[in-house]
Structure 1
């Protein structure tokens, strides 16, 4: 009986094996199809909702570190805010005081301005601040303004500026002050020691046009590459602090010349003759603050923020920053931004 059972079981075993070979692939394929048709929980989890946060506004004071040393400072370089072609160059030996013609750009005179700090913005009716007060003092020395030096650009200042602009070759009815019409030569009158441009030179805002005589016994301020403006908006006036000494400093001037200020810095550095200092803007500026993660850089280098994933981007230019945040201009046309744009689908790429 045992041999018979073995013979009868052989066909059964073959059928079992054959059935397994046919059924298992079907089950595997069926399972794969079912999984493929079902929602993928991993993929669903990878989708991130946009996190929208409010834009905040704050008043900040630009500040940066600089290296200073006592000694002779090179002649102060005076820069122009005008753009065009020099048609009359500065004359070596010329004494420069308020209103004296320094050079001509596109045949329009650009005149010297002597003040505690340089003009740093265009001014018009309604503006106010220390720079307006310096403009009032400038116009007073030219005999164009007789009102109070109150830092307010009112009708009397407007009339004086209009007359100044006529003399600057801008024509009548130009009621705003343009820094391109002057060259700031420093807090005191100076003499042209070297002309840095000649007739035919193309100039643009920030181009040095002349240098004054070397300054002896000064505090030389070594600003960062590109000037102190690369570290923030310092406006036209700042302070320099080293130890317990704080003295006035004109951003971009590269030195402190006032005898009392030099002695104060010398005492703070003693016995050393060089060291580090902090430069801080006199006037705070309003900025819009967003998370650093809100910025997106386009393929062309453009920086953008988004109000929502389906809105077009807004191009921005940072003016400062802190820990985890970026400061933008106060005119940012958004009240909130997407703080995680790199993890959500954006309708319009930055820089497109």
Structure 2
């Protein structure tokens, strides 16, 4: 029996090494399965770059531009008489009004006639035609003829209105209109850019007295910096700033109805205008800043927070929550605007106040790959 017990103890002693050889690798593998992911997770967290909180900014997208005006024409004010200037009331850049007294030649006054066509003959009772129609519009504009009496016939009512006009300006009340006293400019003109004569100057019939402001047809804004773009404004109203003044436009693609008023505002402000072609067909205004008229609030983050993948996709990485193993990529539109003066990029509004990684380039390759 003692011998058998000795054999049994010896057999047990010889089995233990085999058991340990089988069990220890299993134990090591089990521990590794638990520890390694934890270490990897800790490793990722330990290597996380510094984070930054996504902020916000009221953005007006200031952009330096030049304004390129296309000119239809620049009408001239011409005298219909010869003589010496004995009185002058022409003022550059001042607003023009229908029927205002412009100047006198040898004591004979000349008045402004804003119309679609000039008068080419003296008009009196019994005359008819489109020029009579223009005269009756003129008399209605100056408050001397009821709008309902406007027409292409020189009626007794028109004659009475002409006499009132003559009496207002201390002229002989003949009832007929001397066409030489009415100097034509198109209705669209509202100011004079330059005056060519002064008091005491001799004037010949047909000579230039003044040059009106250009009649502008279109205007196009062009960024001064080739990298600039009007796309940030979309089609929203913009404010043009120049020489300490501002002018609100319905869109950076200026509607035709606003072009002339904008041009006149630049003139009044003394903005430099150049004629690059020396043909009078285009003018360029400089020193203009465009801004969004109603600045919008956007979420912004440092440009260094944006990772660009090999496929061109752009992402920022959210700092992981406690239950997350690694940072989560959030796509940033490829068209996202950059704000050069502060080195920030516009990110989705949903990120405002969230923590993102400042330098995702430091992340492990497999984490950055999630942005692909």
- Same fold by TM (over 0.5)? no
**Greater Cα radius of gyration, structure 1 or 2:** 2
TM-score of Structure 1 vs Structure 2, range by shorter chain: 0.3 to 0.5
